[in-house]
């Protein structure tokens, strides 16, 4: 089953024991985390496990859907918001309403809300906006970037959101790529240094937790290193295209920033729309399961890009059942999708 245990570790810790209710081990904060996870997993149905693997857009999410389908996550896709010029209170009310739905489900597993916050909390009215990555990379100042991460985390948490789809650690090798502004540098060594923003977003992990996903309290957020891997090296700079390079080149140019991110405790990794030598990254088991999880020992969860699973086929969505199967078997733990279609496909496939 592709469900991420780390997600359960992080979010089960939010569950409070109900006074006077029947004792449930996974809700007991005094129990070891491993014991709580084992207890919870033993109680989950296949459908509930699959629901936890879905991240749906807020525009289609309701309290009832989150309750009935055990949906693991909700996002603001494309910068969507609760209402025009929404205040922090409006965001909090929306997130809390969704959370109430999740907590009223059979097992009461909290959902995780995610949002793009790539240069400050940039989708929120009156938030502090910082320079894009290309400008921050030009400073060659990791400490500054770390402070920006910390400031962003505070503003994101002030709207009730605990998860951001940042940082982008692409290495832009062709200025014709329209998203070069999201890259800190064409020099992978500079990009590696700028991964200190993760420490600002999530907090400095204790020495004993190096390389383990870490979020340091209520003023911090879970970060997401993206887009795995080689998104800045596509032929001709064409967006979402093919990166043609041998394994040595891939590991030397595009992989070091991911290694640094994992050492610094990044919680999640997002997969790229692009391909590596003709194979879609969303279906690349060799790199997702083989290298990211087994070689780099990444212990967080791997999430798809927005409808990235749809784009495994050409044209997109031509065979969604196949695409979901390929993505899950490649090692993707959470499917970012507009609807619950991915859940239905996984359930039909009986992936376990």
Per-residue pLDDT tens digits for 228-272: 999 999 999 999 999 999 999 999 999 999 999 999 999 999 999
Identify the band that residue 341 occupies on the pLDDT scale cut at 50, 70 and 90. low
- The DSSP-derived string for 30-89 is TS-HHHHHHHHHHH--HHHHHHHTEEEETTT--HHHHHHHT--EEE-GGG--SSTT--HH
pLDDT for residue 352 is more than 70: no
What is the span of the domain harbouring residue 192? Answer: 116-349
Residue 336 gets the label, from left (phi > 0), alpha (psi -120 to 50) or beta, of beta
Per-residue pLDDT tens digits for 187-201: 999 999 999 999 999
What pLDDT does residue 261 have?
98
Q: What is the mean pLDDT of residues 315-325?
A: 94
Q: What is the mean pLDDT of the chain?
A: 92
Is 20 part of a structural domain of the chain? no
Among 72-81, 157-166, 317-326, 336-345, which range has the highest average pLDDT? 157-166
More confident residue, 208 or 346: 208
Is 23 part of a structural domain of the chain? no
- The answer to whether the beta carbons of residues 67 and 346 sit under 8 Å apart is no
What pLDDT does residue 21 have?
62
Q: What is the mean pLDDT of residues 34-54?
A: 96
Per-residue pLDDT tens digits for 141-186: 999 999 999 999 999 999 999 999 999 999 999 999 999 999 999 9
CA dihedral 216, 218, 224, 225 (to 10 degrees): -40
Pairing of strands 224-228, 268-271: parallel
Is 35 part of a structural domain of the chain? no
What is the Cα–Cα distance from 231 to 276, expressed in whole angstroms? 9
Distances in whole angstroms, Cα of residue 263 to Cα of each of 24, 143, 298, 299: 34, 17, 9, 11
Q: How many domains does the chain have?
A: 1
Is 220 part of a structural domain of the chain? yes
Strands (E), the chain: 54-57, 73-75, 112-115, 163-164, 224-228, 242-243, 268-271, 275-276, 279-280, 301-303, 335-337
Is 209 part of a structural domain of the chain? yes
- The answer to whether the beta carbons of residues 204 and 216 sit under 8 Å apart is yes
Q: What is the mean pLDDT of residues 96-107?
A: 98
Which of 334, 341, 351 minimizes the C-alpha distance to 54? 334
Strands laid side by side in the 279-280 sheet = 242-243, 275-276, 279-280
- What CATH number corresponds to the domain at position 340? 3.20.20.300
Is 61 part of a structural domain of the chain? no
Is 208 part of a structural domain of the chain? yes
Is 93 part of a structural domain of the chain? no
Identify the band that residue 16 occupies on the pLDDT scale cut at 50, 70 and 90. very low
Quick one: DSSP state of residue 268? E
Q: What is the mean pLDDT of residues 74-89?
A: 93
What pLDDT does residue 347 have?
61
What pLDDT does residue 337 have?
83
Distances in whole angstroms, Cα of residue 140 to Cα of each of 120, 137, 201: 19, 6, 18
């Amino acid at each position: 089953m592709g469900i991420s245990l780390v997600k359960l570790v992080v979010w089960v810790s939010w569950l409070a024991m109900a006074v006077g209710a029947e004792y449930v081990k996974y809700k007991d904060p005094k129990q070891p985390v491993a014991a709580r996870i084992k207890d919870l997993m033993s109680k989950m149905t296949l459908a509930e496990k699959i629901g936890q693997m879905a991240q749906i857009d807020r525009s289609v999410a309701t309290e009832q859907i989150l309750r009935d389908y055990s949906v693991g996550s909700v996002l603001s896709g494309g910068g969507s918001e609760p209402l025009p010029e929404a205040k922090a209170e409006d965001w909090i009310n929306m997130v809390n309403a969704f959370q109430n739905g999740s907590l009223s489900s059979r097992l009461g597993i909290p959902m995780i809300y995610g949002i793009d916050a790539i240069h400050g909390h940039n989708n929120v009215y009156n938030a502090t906006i910082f320079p894009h990555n290309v400008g921050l990379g030009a400073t060659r100042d990791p400490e500054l970037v770390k402070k920006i991460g910390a400031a962003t985390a505070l503003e994101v948490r002030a709207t009730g959101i605990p998860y951001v789809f940042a940082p982008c650690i692409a290495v832009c090798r062709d200025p014709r790529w329209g998203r070069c502004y999201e890259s800190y540098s064409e020099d992978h060594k500079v990009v590696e240094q700028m991964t200190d923003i993760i420490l600002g977003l999530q907090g400095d992990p204790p020495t004993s937790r190096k390389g383990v996903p870490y979020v340091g309290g209520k003023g911090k957020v879970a970060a997401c290193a993206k887009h795995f891997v080689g998104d800045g090296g596509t032929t001709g700079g064409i967006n979402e295209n093919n990166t043609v390079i041998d394994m040595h080149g891939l590991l030397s140019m595009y992989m070091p920033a991911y290694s640094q991110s994992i050492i610094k405790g990044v919680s999640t990794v997002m997969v790229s729309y692009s391909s590596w030598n003709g194979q879609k990254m969303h279906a690349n088991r060799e790199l997702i399961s083989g290298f990211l999880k087994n070689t780099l020992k990444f212990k967080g969860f791997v999430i798809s890009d927005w409808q990235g699973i749809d784009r495994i086929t050409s044209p997109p969505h031509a065979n969604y059942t196949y695409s979901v199967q390929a993505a899950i078997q490649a090692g993707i733990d959470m499917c970012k999708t507009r609807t619950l279609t991915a859940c239905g496909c996984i359930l039909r496939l009986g992936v376990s």
